[in-house]
Amino acid sequence: MTASLRRRPLDGVRVVTFAQLYQGPYATMLLAVRLSRALATRTYTQWQETFDRIGVPAGPVHRLDEVPHDPHVLARQAIRSLDGRPRRRYVRQPLRLSGYSAHDPAPAPRLGEHTASLLRELDTSPHPEEVTEP
């Protein structure tokens, strides 16, 4: 009885090397099962506090609808809006370099919007004004 009281949630999880994980899917599955059981013993907040205290980099795995509201995503302005037809959201270039400013993309042109000017520039049509826009 006293041994079970002293048992910690991760006692059943053994250190696994990458070589052991490559032995086959069974080793990976076994580790996942053991970790799942151990992680189920505490709340996310409790685990996050423990991991923060001992220096384990960890964070939540969000559902897709939660990602835009994540504090890190908001702080980095990782999701931007593109003014266009219709208005779209996109993921901003994640790589930031000092001295370089990434420009937001322009919306796609409307179908046929630049056809006449492109044909004039390429000089492929004797009468680009005859090109009808869709």
**Total domain count, the chain:** 2
- Is 41 a domain residue? yes
Same domain, 70 and 36: no
Query: Concatenated DSSP letters for 43-99?
Result: -HHHHHHHHHHHT--------TTTGGG-HHHHHTT-EEEE-SSS-EEEEPP----TT
Determine the pLDDT at residue 56.
Answer: 92
**Longest C-alpha distance within the chain, in Å?**
94
3-62: per-residue pLDDT in tens?
A: 544 556 666 656 666 676 667 667 778 888 888 999 999 999 999 999 999 999 998 888
- Is 71 a domain residue? yes
pTM comes to 0.48
Same domain, 46 and 14: yes
Q: Which of the residue ranges 2-16, 44-58, 67-81, 85-99 would you say has the lowest mean pLDDT?
A: 2-16
Domain enclosing residue 76, as ranges: 60-94
- Is 84 a domain residue? yes
Same domain, 38 and 76: no
Determine the pLDDT at residue 5.
Answer: 46
| DSSP state at residue 133 | P
Buried-exposed string 5-14: b where 16+ CB fall within 10 A, e elsewhere: eeeeeeeebe
Say how far apart CA 81 and CA 118 lie, in whole Å: 28
Q: Say if strands 79-82 and 88-91 run parallel, antiparallel, or are unpaired.
A: antiparallel
Say how far apart CA 122 and CA 102 lie, in whole Å: 30
- Is 65 a domain residue? yes
Task: Find out whether 39 and 61 touch, Cβ atoms under 8 Å.
Answer: no
